[in-house]
Structure 1
Amino acid sequence: MSDKPSDDQPSASEIPDDVWEQFTRDTERDIRGSAPKEPSARARMVTERLRRQEERGESPPAWRTGPESPEVNGRAGRRRTLWAVLGVPLAVAVALVALKPSLLPGDPFGRDESRAAPSAPPTAPDPEIPTLDEPFAGSPALHWADGEAGIVLPEAKAVGPVSRDRVEQALKLTKKLLVAANLDPETVRGERPEAALSVLDPKQPKLLDDLNTALRSPSGKHDPLTMFSRFDPDEIRPVGDVIKTRGRMTFEKGSHAGVAVRADYTFVYPVMRADGSTEVTRTIVRRVLDVELADPVRYRVTQGRLTVRTYDEEIGNSSCDVHDGYLHPEFPSSENKGTDPTGPTTDPYDRSRSLDEGHACGTVTRT
């Protein structure tokens, strides 16, 4: 046999000193323990007595086997009991996660978009149709987070001279704006979105003037849907109290000595008619906001308020060219009451593409 070590075995020079020393001590101990020893006089007497008993056939049965150790039995028993106690809750937890993956934070199955932008649209939907009991059946949003839980803030870090606390404040204000403009029940049922307006800087008068005009007298030029998700309560009612949400938020150094935040989120609203019909449909709204928390020392801005740089939206499944300030979902059983679509056909769940300019009234491939 060759004394050359094989390639997959470490050489002595590759073994850390403390490991090698421990190995040496253990080896010496084992050698001392296994070395033959001269039996004592008592041992020789016992051995001789047992030999004679064996010759006479008087050896006690199973004398070479000892009783089981109570300590071993007890330890094994406790291990089995512990597994029985922990196993049931663990099985229940696994079953719950299998039925509703969104119970786990952060979307551990790779569907979370809060850290990286999507590179492709979701897979094709199931052929199921939405119902009062399952309003998200057949929709990719079935596995999205519920409402505010879908707006996950990135970890705040200082950007240039802007402190971490300042960045965190900007992120929280952006989330507050998104929630108040798209998830707040009062806003969704068509009431004035006071909480959302309170986040915006009053020293940016053009924006607030336009939004107030849109809320007071909506038109094609001044449309509140560019910033707020609203349904006419006399026409539409929500199905359940869950709005599905998915998107991501990023930040960078702003142009006004502050921090600039970009928010790109999609909201899915299951709705029904207010006339008592049980037919369910969904409207999908995607919003892209660019806001900044500017430095109030260097610029004429309000402390703790956001300046909106740009905002854009895309609405899936709402009648075209109806400018009364409300979303008007179309149901499969009803005819289109708005203008016929003239724009492209798009998938409202495809978050891998940028929003098209022009806001042409198009057709959605699914709701």
Structure 2
Amino acid sequence: MPIAEDPEPRPSGHPKDGTDGKDPFADLVLDEEFVRGATVKEQAGRTRMLAARWQHTPPVDPGGRRSVNDGPRPKRRFARRPRPVDPWGNPRPRRAREWRTPLFVVLTVALVLAALNVDGLRSWYSTRFGDGSGSAAAPVRSVAPESGRPTTAPPPVDPAQPTVDRPWAGSPAENWPTGIEVFGPDPSTVTRIGVFGADQVAAQVELVKRYLAAANLDPRTVAGGRPEAALALLGPEDRAEAEKALATPSYDDDPLTWFSRFDARDAIPVGGVYRVQGSISVEGDGKRGVLVHTDFTYVYPLRPGPDAAGRAAAPKPSLSPRPPRDPAPGGNATAKPVGLVTPVADVPGDTWTTRTVVRRADTFRFYDPAKFSVERDRLYFQRHLSESGNSECGVYDGWYHPQFDQFAAAGAPNPDQSGPTSDPYDRRGELSTDGLCGTVSRS
């Protein structure tokens, strides 16, 4: 663009200049057509200032800035980003990639999933690496808690001899839950019953669950220890009866009515994990109170204790219609068997084990505190029934006494064991109250 830094002086209008004394700009009209047709344009003041400065000090490209005169941007190879620079064009130092945070997130998710499905993790491990017996075990599908009374018995399982390494072999309880906390009505479905609000009814159900776990699933209780946690949840009268049964067990005062216990001299629990299946329901008692009904089957894997073989070979007691109230010989619970305070550690291997199956149907009543004198956060039994499979009949010393297959030939059959053969895993019907000593089709 041409620039007129110093335009020529205006003509003076003298005849010698060839203008005849006439001003050449007299007829000039500065309209839009004149402006657009001008060949010389005046620059802005800033443009002239920068042009004068750059004559002595040329500008420096700071880098990282592009203009329309720089041409197209160079293509990146393999989608790599250009190295970042600061506003002055200096390269920024590259940050080391943080790899620990994603790793911690993955490990946390894996631990949470494993905790939510312990049985599935155990099955996956057994399938990939074996179960310790040299052969890979088939994966086990977890069975959900019951939502109501079942209409069929559990399907038959391939018969297999359980061992210390595989205590659940051949049992339909292998995929049952291992805790009471997964049972019970959905808290969102619990409503007000009698004088108790929905939150109070939900708390009563949780109290019942705590007792059932302490009385039937606590490893110390099952191994023969004193069930202090369960006793602490009972009302005064029920606790007095339970303590009496523990002190002097007999036919009328049998601690097995309340707790699941094994004599470590005879049978030792394996693994410290037991299977359970059943249901919990809630209803009103008709007196502004609440009834909590529970019906659970507990399965305990056991290995022989030091006196198991001798007990199997000993003569069996002859059952009478109603045993005396006195404790059976050696049944005083004050003489503590081996392993009562500290459960005996498991011994891995192929030692044959067995299982005892116990079913309990209990009803707990929560009274209207305005009409009855009751202690808060204590349980009061309305009814409790129980029966056991694979436990010696006619013995009321406060312990379950299972039969082990490796010692079965050493003992003579009990002539009074004339009851029907039943499946201890069949939960379709009600508990039997005939008192007959029968046999079980499987354990």
TM tier, shorter chain?
A: 0.5 to 0.7
Q: Which residue of 2 aligns with 1:126?
A: 158
| 1:323 equivalent among 383, 390, 396 | 396
Q: Secondary structure at the match of 2:303?
A: strand
**1:324–1:337: structure 2 CA closer, same or farther, 3 Å change rule?**
farther
Q: Which residue of 1 aligns with 2:436?
A: 360
Read off the aligned partner of 2:150 and give its amino acid letter: P
| 2:232 equivalent among 167, 190, 198 | 198
Contact 1:150 1:244 (8 Å CA) reproduced: no
| 1:289 equivalent among 349, 362, 383 | 362
Is residue 214 of structure 1 aligned with residue 245 of structure 2? yes
Contact 1:290 1:308 (8 Å CA) reproduced: yes
Q: Distance in 2 between matches of 1:347 and 1:254?
A: 33
Is residue 347 of structure 1 aligned with residue 423 of structure 2? yes
Read off the aligned partner of 1:366 and give its amino acid letter: R
Q: Distance in 2 between matches of 1:117 and 1:253?
A: 20
Q: CA deviation at 1:334?
A: 1.8
**1:321–1:337: structure 2 CA closer, same or farther, 3 Å change rule?**
farther
Q: Secondary structure at the match of 1:334?
A: helix
Q: CA deviation at 1:236?
A: 1.6
Q: Which residue of 1 aligns with 2:149?
A: 117
Contact 2:177 2:275 (8 Å CA) reproduced: yes
Read off the aligned partner of 1:213 and give its amino acid letter: K
**1:194–1:362: structure 2 CA closer, same or farther, 3 Å change rule?**
same
After TM superposition, the score normalised by the length of structure 2 is 0.56
Deviates most, 353-362 or 251-260: 251-260
Structure 2, unmatched stretches of 5+, are 1-75, 80-105, 125-140, 307-346
| CA root-mean-square deviation | 3.1
Q: Distance in 1 between matches of 2:185 and 2:272?
A: 23
**1:237–1:100: structure 2 CA closer, same or farther, 3 Å change rule?**
same
Q: Secondary structure at the match of 1:187?
A: helix
Contact 2:303 2:351 (8 Å CA) reproduced: yes
| 2:297 equivalent among 240, 247, 266 | 266
Read off the aligned partner of 2:301 and give its amino acid letter: P
Task: Say which structure is richer in helix.
Answer: 1
Choose 1 or 2 for highest CA Rg: 2
Q: Distance in 2 between matches of 1:149 and 1:262?
A: 15
**1:148–1:192: structure 2 CA closer, same or farther, 3 Å change rule?**
same
Q: CA deviation at 1:195?
A: 1.3
Read off the aligned partner of 2:379 and give its amino acid letter: L
**Structure 1 residues 57-111: Cα deviation after superposition (integer angstroms, max 9, x where no partner):** xxxxxxxxxxxxx9xx9xxxxxxxxxxxx9xx99x999x849749xxxxxxx794
Q: Which residue of 1 aligns with 2:407?
A: 334
After TM superposition, the score normalised by the length of structure 1 is 0.67
**Count of residues in correspondence between the two structures:** 275
**1:337–1:294: structure 2 CA closer, same or farther, 3 Å change rule?**
farther
Q: CA deviation at 1:132?
A: 1.2
